[in-house]
Amino acid sequence: MNITPFDPHAATTWARIGVSLVWLAFGFGAKVLRLVPRHERIVARILGPGPAPVLTRLIGIGEILVGVWFLTGIELSVCALFQTLIVATMNAIELVRARDLLLAPVPMVVGNTVLLGLAWYGALG
């Protein structure tokens, strides 16, 4: 198992912390605590209204786990690849099935591209 420890002086450390905080905030705040109801509406549109509350929270827990994984430094390149796959898949599905529920589709894609760029920098930098 490849573990990359934190170097408090390295920009890659700050990239890892920043990316992890995004995953933790969106997972815990927006989905688990349901502070952003629009997320549940998007899940309802895609997966159905009945299971949406539970599935939104499960997605949130998954996002929290991604944030924690990236913080651990374990297999960072695998984690960055996983992030890339889930963000690209999630964005594609949302743009096709729930575009009207997105606040700003183009800035969302740009922001997620920046997030993934930072994730790869944190993993490989």
- For 6: left if phi > 0, alpha if psi spans -120 to 50, otherwise beta; the answer is beta
- Domain ranges for the chain, please list them: 11-124
**The pLDDT value given to residue 46:** 97
CA trace torsion 78, 35, 32, 43 (10° rounding): -70
Query: Which pTM does this prediction carry?
Result: 0.94
Res. 87: pLDDT tops 90? yes
Integer Cα distance of 91 and 113 in angstroms: 10
Handedness of CA 47, 25, 108, 121 (dihedral sign): negative
- Read off the pLDDT of residues 4-33 as tens digits, 9 standing for 90 and up: 888 878 999 999 999 999 999 999 999 999
